[in-house]
Structure 1
Amino acid sequence: MSARALIIGAARSGSGKTSVTIGLMRALKRRGLAVHGAKSGPDYIDPGFHTAATGRPGVNLDSWAMHPDLLAHLAGRQAADADMLLIESAMGLFDGIVSEPGRSGAAADIARLYGVPCLVVLDVSGQSQTAAALAKGFTAYDPRVNIAGVVLNQVASARHEAMARDAIEAIGIKVLGAVHRNPDMALPERHLGLVQASEHSALEAFIERLADVMERSIDLDAVLAASAPLDAPGGTLRHMLPPPGQRIAIAQDRAFSFVYPHVAAHWRAAGAALVPFSPLADEGPDASADACWLPGGYPELHAAQLANAENFRARMRAFAETRPVHGECGGFMVLGGALEDADGITHPMLGLLGHVTSYAKRKMNLGYRQARLLADCPIGQAGETIRGHEFHYSRLIEPGADEPLAELADGQGRALGAAGARRGHVTGTYFHAIARG
């Protein structure tokens, strides 16, 4: 069985997509439906909220980073054994990069590829009839993308709702609901986006409140009617990142948490055991593991605690003498010689690589990355191209003297130069690997 599917899109980030998506997921689940979730693009936080709302693992569907064969496989797998698949768009519905057809990274690619209708969340704060012009733009911009209707968000009053709704319906576009302003619906944020689901206090009660709001505000029968069966071909796994070992020690706590769901799920399905440990609890990698993975996260918020975790430091150094260790983004920062926190205090890190990073001297780095590997490492073999994504505010202030790990290009193939580092069994990059190119 394959699910019916619907994309929740918007004109921009901050329009309320995540709140509407989470609330709809739980509201439909209350009806006894098997609901699965997905996030278009490279965001690794929202799938955690989807998992909490549905009780089923979330996944990313990224048309740029994932080969079409892999994208089809993941879309089809996420739709299997479900009644409804809700796909949350990243940024605006049509926002992506200039690339080959169908590989822009935008949620609209998924709509075109698999015939998935779109429900657009319109933030109507500060406007009324003008919302109709925006809705009309969505329906006219690309006739291959089916706009099934809109949901009004941030509605100020019954009069405000009527003015926007009447103008939109007068041009033949369906309004499936209207969500009035409610500060209790806001999700907490920090410098890389939303606070993760695992850190959200009273998360279950919050999701239940969102579901209550959606049940009052949105015509759920109309939402179900607006969806359509997902038409994705079978696809294969050949572009997945292979597991770096059969037993993978993986750092897992408030400092290390950014692992793409499809990556971890594939490693497990391939027979690998993921053995978690907490650097913040001064734990080291399991001695029986044959590879160690330090994922991204927020080490800049816990630099002093990591610097004082002597057992963690000693066990990591011992592990790296004989077995591969790889760090992504935050993990890469911790592998370096030191980390400068927001207050300008420098804390010693593992010293397994020679670079120094700073969150005090910060600059946002954001975008897709293509990495041609210069050496064998846990994310691939020398000469392979890995597609991924980079998003961080910290920066390198001392590059160190280690050999680079990859030649890097942006999403459009423009050269960015050598990147990452390697020394002995230790490798690291600022970008998060998503799939083989």
Structure 2
Amino acid sequence: MTAGLLVSAARSGAGKTTVTLGLLAALGRRGITLRAAKAGPDYIDPAFHAVATGAPCINLDSWTMPPPLLHALVAGATDATDLLIVEGVMGLFDGVPGVADRDGSSASIAARFKLPVLLVLDVTAQSQSAAAMVRGFASHHPDVRVAGVILNRVGSDRHRRLITDAIAPLDIPVVGAIPRDAALALPERHLGLIQAGEHGDLDRRITALADMAEKHLDLDAIVALAASIDHQPTLNAVPALLPPGQRIALAADAAFAFVYPHLIDGWHNAGAEIMRFSPLADEAPSDDCDACWLPGGYPELHAATLASAQTFRAGLVRFAQTRPVHGECGGYMVLGEGLEDADGNRHAMTGLLGHTTSFHKRRLHLGYREARLLSDSSIGTRGSLIRGHEFHYASLIDPGGDEPLVDLRNAQSEPMAERGGRRGHVTGTFFHAIAQVSS
């Protein structure tokens, strides 16, 4: 049976991703068959996990994903696998308040699958107080077991000893201590880490993280902390979203890179074919496809190139005359009339929907979303309830006059102003659909 661990922290920015990547790469050198998962809706970190393990990384999100889907994903990830390492999201217990075991927190995943927690502590500007944090996290939830601690950004050997000695009475082992080293940090941009595919030196960075883990983590002790994963067998699991067609044209390049692997796998398992094309290379969706999907990404960084991609734009317009086209987040921006870049320059987009977006007038939009579909579309049938996530800095500066696609609410069931758009066969929303929760 496959063993598992969940790497979490007290807060975002404590070093979870650095530790997870180093751990994956170092254990991979030992010949352990590994898979990685990411708790929550993040779509950037999993690409780095995939590079470190050589295998696809899945998302596990207890708020957006029904339990049968969660168990099916874990079952698939643990098939012929020795060890599953799950990277947490935000702090260990951060999630939607008042939803018990489906709050989207890392703790909810740890509790559901009985995963021991490896707690990463950023010990900058503290010493013995770190023991109080460990005590609090260890006793906060009866179904969440903190099995070990990794100290990050340790200032000196004396600093490490002070903290380790303070934690010792808790009977929770310190299994690593990583010194402060800015060279270990991965570069970021406005939506988080720069995408894995954009690093020309990613192999070197992963190698450096593996070296760090071998030097500063007790790998044998960490592997010994892992426990058998408790997951229920799932028969006849349905895809998270039904495929929008039999042959799906999927935009895939640096401007359209944010698509959840579980969606693609679900479509494949339902018998659909995925045909990738690159708008940045001025490619159009293939005429032998019967649906087109424009995922999120960074179109705001490539607006001029997309505006001049005449073959792509003309081909997409022709495709949309007879077949469904759906765009989410960045894809939704490209379906509109125009897009303002960071300098305020407006670039003409495809005009298949009537809205205009701006990255010049930036405001963070972040959080879970629940959408009731107002009509049939590529993401489901009318009346279906879809859960997903929104994360972008672009603003809607002209909503246009299209029919609304969804009645949208946040995780607290509060109405949201944004309702997406629908015109003919074309639909789009700012939120990323993750799973259908009811029909």
Give the TM-score taking structure 2 as reference length: 0.98
For 2:383, the aligned partner's letter is G
For 1:78, the aligned partner's letter is A
Q: Which residue number in structure 2 is paired with residue 339 of structure 1?
A: 339
For 1:26, the aligned partner's letter is A
Q: Which residue number in structure 2 is paired with residue 218 of structure 1?
A: 217
Matched-pair contact (CA < 8 Å) for 2:238–2:266: no
Shift of 1:417: 4.4
For 1:296, the aligned partner's letter is G
Q: Distance in 2 between matches of 1:273 and 1:387?
A: 24
Does the alignment pair 1:37 with 2:36?
yes
Q: Distance in 1 between matches of 2:384 and 2:431?
A: 15
Does the alignment pair 1:228 with 2:227?
yes
Shift of 1:139: 0.7
Q: Distance in 2 between matches of 1:99 and 1:326?
A: 33
Moved more, 91-100 or 222-231: 91-100
Unmatched tracts of structure 1, length 5 or more? none
Q: Distance in 2 between matches of 1:337 and 1:348?
A: 6
Q: Which residue number in structure 2 is paired with residue 410 of structure 1?
A: 410
Q: Which residue number in structure 2 is paired with residue 322 of structure 1?
A: 322
For 2:224, the aligned partner's letter is A
Q: Which residue number in structure 2 is paired with residue 105 of structure 1?
A: 104
Q: What's the CA shift string for 1:347-371, capped at 9, x where partnerless?
A: 1100000000011111100010000
Q: Distance in 2 between matches of 1:99 and 1:65?
A: 15
Aligned counterparts, 1:364-383, within 5 A: 364-383=364-383
For 1:88, the aligned partner's letter is E
Do the aligned partners of residues 52 and 418 (structure 1) sit closer, same or farther apart at CA in structure 2, a change above 3 Å counting?
closer
Aligned counterparts, 1:10-409, within 5 A: 10-236=9-235, 237-238=237-238, 240-409=240-409
Shift of 1:99: 4.1
Q: Which 4+ stretches in 1 moved above 4 angstroms? A: none
Q: Distance in 2 between matches of 1:195 and 1:104?
A: 28
Q: Distance in 2 between matches of 1:165 and 1:234?
A: 40
Matched-pair contact (CA < 8 Å) for 2:239–2:267: no
Shift of 1:239: 5.7
Q: What's the CA shift string for 1:81-134, capped at 9, x where partnerless?
A: 110000000111111002432100001011111111000000001111111111
Shift of 1:17: 0.4
Q: Distance in 2 between matches of 1:290 and 1:126?
A: 57
Identity %: 56
Q: SS at 1:170's partner residue?
A: helix
For 1:43, the aligned partner's letter is D
CA RMSD of aligned residues (A): 1.1
Q: SS at 1:415's partner residue?
A: coil
Q: Distance in 1 between matches of 2:195 and 2:13?
A: 16
Q: SS at 1:102's partner residue?
A: helix
Q: SS at 1:419's partner residue?
A: coil
Shift of 1:235: 2.9
Q: Distance in 2 between matches of 1:234 and 1:379?
A: 27
Q: Which residue number in structure 2 is paired with residue 429 of structure 1?
A: 429
Moved more, 374-383 or 238-247: 238-247
Q: Distance in 2 between matches of 1:235 and 1:434?
A: 19
Q: Distance in 2 between matches of 1:43 and 1:202?
A: 22
Matched-pair contact (CA < 8 Å) for 2:239–2:270: no
Q: Distance in 2 between matches of 1:311 and 1:239?
A: 33
